[in-house]
Structure 1
Amino acid sequence: MPLSTEDRVAITDLIDRHGHLADHGDLDGMAELFLPDAGYDVTDLGGGVITGTAALREAALALGDRNPVAHHVTNIVITETAEGRVRALSKGFGVSTDGTVASVTYEDTIVRGEQGWRIGHRVVRARRKPLTP
């Protein structure tokens, strides 16, 4: 069955809410966005793969003031891959405490479950060079 408009809105809202929760320090709220055993791959940023919402919370706390003060997401593209599963690509940029800005691409696998749509796996890829795939 194709994704409904309501599904697409819910998935977009899910992705959008990540930045708000992170920026407000609501790290426990990440459980509303990610599956409990979700993989969060920040290997491209030098951090490896973080598994589970508890580990994601601990990693954010360990970064402390090195966390961005603002996360922004845009250009969300949602593609169905299988019943109850989608792939979402989005562009993100973060603003650091010193005012520098960094750009990333989020590659999400999103799963529909009993509690609605949740991110099952996220890969964060740094954008350091223009015109590269």
Structure 2
Amino acid sequence: MLTLQEISDRMEIQDLMVRYSHAVDTGDWDALDTVFTADALIDYSAMGGSKGGLAETKEFLASVMPGFGAYQHLIANSSITVDGDTATGRTMCHNPMVFKGEDDETPGPTMFCGLWYLDTFTRVDGEWRISARSEEKSYMYIAPTA
């Protein structure tokens, strides 16, 4: 049976992952400062992205995300293991991304990305943060426009 602390930790970590998704989906790169530790290692290379620290990751996202007209990070099926002030997690992500078309009004092809986030979490000053994140690729499919 889970203790109240374990339940609270898991809920706080799940909220953290939702905050990550919202920050990326709204382009609020500074909000990532409240999601990751200052020294986090973030590895998006399995899906063709960057690998580096928080500053490099924010720069990467700010440079590539404007090329998409729409996108969503849909996360589910988190498996979280808490051990005191550290935790690990594996979370499924379905991420449809619509490329911009010829003009900003016309959508281009849609890329469907399926992956798992592999995370290490650290409690910092009483709040959970992601201290390491990598991605495990499941699928990537680009559906042509109609």
1:118 aligns with 2:129: yes
Mapped partners of 2:134, 2:88: distance in 1? 11
Mapped partners of 1:47, 1:77: distance in 2? 24
1:69 aligns with 2:80: no
In the TM superposition, residue 110 of structure 1 has moved relative to its aligned partner by: 0.2
What SS class does the counterpart of residue 128 from structure 1 fall into? strand
Which residue is equivalent to 1:51? 53
Kindly indicate which of the two structures has a greater share of residues assigned to strand.
2
Unpaired segments of 5 or more residues in structure 2? 99-108, 141-146
What SS class does the counterpart of residue 110 from structure 2 fall into? coil
1:88 aligns with 2:89: yes
Which residue is equivalent to 1:33? 35
- Kept after mapping to 2: 8 A contact 1:68/1:94: no
Which runs of structure 1 show a deviation greater than 4 angstroms over 4 or more consecutive aligned residues? Answer: none
How many residues end up aligned between the 2 structures?
127
Unpaired segments of 5 or more residues in structure 1? none
In the TM superposition, residue 89 of structure 1 has moved relative to its aligned partner by: 0.6
Which residue is equivalent to 2:102? none
In the TM superposition, residue 4 of structure 1 has moved relative to its aligned partner by: 2.3
- In structure 2, the CA distance between the partners of 1:28 and 1:115, relative to structure 1 (3 Å rule), is farther
* TM-score normalised to structure 1 length: 0.85
What SS class does the counterpart of residue 47 from structure 1 fall into? coil
Which residue is equivalent to 1:42? 44
In the TM superposition, residue 26 of structure 1 has moved relative to its aligned partner by: 0.6
RMSD of Structure 2 on Structure 1 (CA): 2.2
- Kept after mapping to 2: 8 A contact 1:86/1:110: yes
Which amino acid is 1:20 matched to? H
* TM-score normalised to structure 2 length: 0.78
- In structure 2, the CA distance between the partners of 1:110 and 1:34, relative to structure 1 (3 Å rule), is same
Greater gyration radius: 2
- In structure 2, the CA distance between the partners of 1:123 and 1:68, relative to structure 1 (3 Å rule), is farther
In the TM superposition, residue 58 of structure 1 has moved relative to its aligned partner by: 0.3
